[in-house]
């Protein structure tokens, strides 16, 4: 035995140490992050790919710390790791440590080299935070479905591990309803909703029904397709990101998705206009705030753009996470031409609705100025030479009519926006 000293030379009392144990000399050769008369905390020399990796150990060379030593050690390491503001971190058991004869614990973040992560998975550990990703929240997994009997059962079987699965069956003519219900989903059919068998009503209508159901019955809504394109095992990614956002989009271009060229080209073009990485992804998550702020009205595939526009207008925090989308053995219910035309229409009118003075006002001013200019030329030439220039007069009249139409449309949109805003305020009250 020998008398121990801290790194600054201050005597801390008599405790057993070992000349052969590196833990007994760490406080003397390194600057501790914390130390007292019982324990010390230091960064490890080998970070193994981690950003934060520390060791807490007793000053005594022992395998059985006292209750006070162990409680002090856990309290210090817990406070330090939480101060680093890590999304996740671990306290690792020393079972596989090279020096098990001196009690210590290692704490690290969730990063690391492949070899380190493999060993970390095999090591007894405690993960922090130990609460669920979104504690005590009611999660609804909403799936709008139309003739999805091939994949719906598999999707539901996995998705139900993360919340209540509600399938909106949009008048399918196959066994979608039966298979979804057998797999454990609550099936909501168009016939049950509207009291008749007419349909289908469209993808957007299905989302609207799911939003309406989730708004007053759940805290979180996750939407995904029932055709097997989205991997329900990735739902926790969206739930985790939702802790810091109001709406989460699963972005196929950030993941490992093999996107067909024609789809990728068209979607990326829309993304640039809208200002997000994947404007057409149906794999999304919404918190309670978003559920009440977002009113779905579009019944077609343009609903994805409508929701984004409303989210931006409402000032919601929108983030994206990488997901994988599978395109094998899946077909779209709309032809690419019809879907593209619908999306362009939704994008155009959504842009006009959000910025009428810019989109319509500027062309109105230009058409009015051109109308006045060509009208003046018509009068000038007629007064000078009695020659009536019909083409100039036609352009002048056409410009004036266009100006009037744009002004009326702009006024109509602004009045509608004001009325809807007042209705939303009234609903909030």
State the pLDDT at residue 18: 78
- pLDDT tens, 246-292? 999 998 888 666 665 555 555 555 556 566 778 778 899 999 999 98
- For residue 426, is pLDDT > 60? no
- For residue 336, is pLDDT > 80? no
How many angstroms separate the CA atoms of 356 and 411, rounded? Answer: 9
- For residue 350, is pLDDT > 70? no
More confident residue, 340 or 136: 136
Once rounded to an integer, what is the mean pLDDT over residues 403-408? 87
Right CATH for 139-353 from 3.90.550.10, 1.10.357.10, 3.30.70.2170, 2.40.128.30: 3.90.550.10
pTM of model > 0.85: no
State the pLDDT at residue 353: 61
State the pLDDT at residue 137: 82
Token pair listed for 245? 């956002």
- For residue 12, is pLDDT > 50? no
* CATH number assigned to the domain covering 3-128: 3.30.428.10
- For residue 169, is pLDDT > 70? yes
Where are the chain's structural domains? 3-128, 139-353, 356-428
State the pLDDT at residue 156: 95
More confident residue, 221 or 112: 221
Averaged pLDDT score across all residues of the chain? 80
More confident residue, 97 or 332: 97
């Amino acid at each position: 035995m020998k008398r121990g000293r801290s790194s600054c030379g201050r005597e801390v009392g008599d405790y057993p140490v070992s000349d052969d144990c590196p833990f007994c000399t760490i406080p003397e050769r390194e600057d501790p992050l914390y130390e007292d008369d019982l324990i010390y905390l230091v960064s490890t020399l080998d970070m193994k790919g981690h950003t934060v990796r520390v060791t807490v150990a007793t000053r005594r060379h022992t395998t059985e710390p006292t209750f006070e030593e162990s409680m002090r050690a856990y309290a210090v390491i817990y406070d330090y790791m939480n101060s680093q503001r890590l999304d996740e971190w671990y306290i690792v058991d020393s079972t596989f440590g090279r020096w098990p004869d001196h009690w210590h614990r290692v704490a690290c973040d969730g990063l690391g080299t492949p070899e380190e992560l493999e060993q970390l998975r095999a090591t007894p550990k405690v993960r922090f935070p130990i609460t669920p990703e979104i504690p005590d929240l009611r999660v609804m997994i909403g799936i709008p479905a139309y003739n999805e009997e091939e994949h719906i059962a598999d999707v539901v079987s996995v998705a139900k591990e993360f919340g209540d699965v509600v399938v909106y069956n949009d008048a399918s003519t196959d066994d979608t309803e039966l298979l979804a219900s057998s797999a454990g989903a609550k099936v909501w059919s168009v016939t049950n909703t509207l009291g008749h068998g007419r349909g289908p009503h469209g993808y957007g209508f299905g989302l609207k029904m799911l939003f309406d159901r989730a708004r007053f019955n759940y805290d979180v809504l996750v939407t995904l397709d029932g055709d097997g394109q989205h991997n329900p095992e990735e739902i926790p990614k969206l739930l985790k990101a939702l802790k810091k956002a109001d709406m989460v989009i699963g972005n196929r271009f950030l993941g490992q998705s093999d996107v067909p060229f024609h789809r990728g080209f068209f979607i990326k073009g829309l993304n640039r206009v809208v200002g997000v990485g994947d404007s057409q992804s149906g794999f999304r998550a919404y918190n309670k705030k978003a559920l009440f702020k977002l009113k779905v009205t579009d019944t077609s595939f343009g609903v994805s753009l409508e929701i984004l526009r409303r989210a931006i207008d409402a000032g919601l925090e929108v983030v994206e996470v990488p997901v994988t989308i599978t395109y094998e053995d899946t077909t779209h219910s709309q032809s690419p031409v019809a879907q593209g035309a619908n999306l362009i229409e939704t994008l155009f009118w959504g842009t006009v609705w959000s910025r009428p003075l810019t989109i319509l006002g500027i062309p109105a001013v230009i058409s009015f100025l051109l109308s006045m200019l060509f009208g003046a030329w018509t009068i000038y030439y007629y007064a000078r030479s009695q020659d009536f220039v019909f083409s100039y007069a036609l352009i002048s009249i056409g410009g004036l009519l266009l100006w009037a139409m744009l002004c009326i449309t702009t006024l109509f949109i602004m009045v509608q926006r004001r009325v809807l805003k007042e209705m939303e305020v009234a609903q909030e009250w």
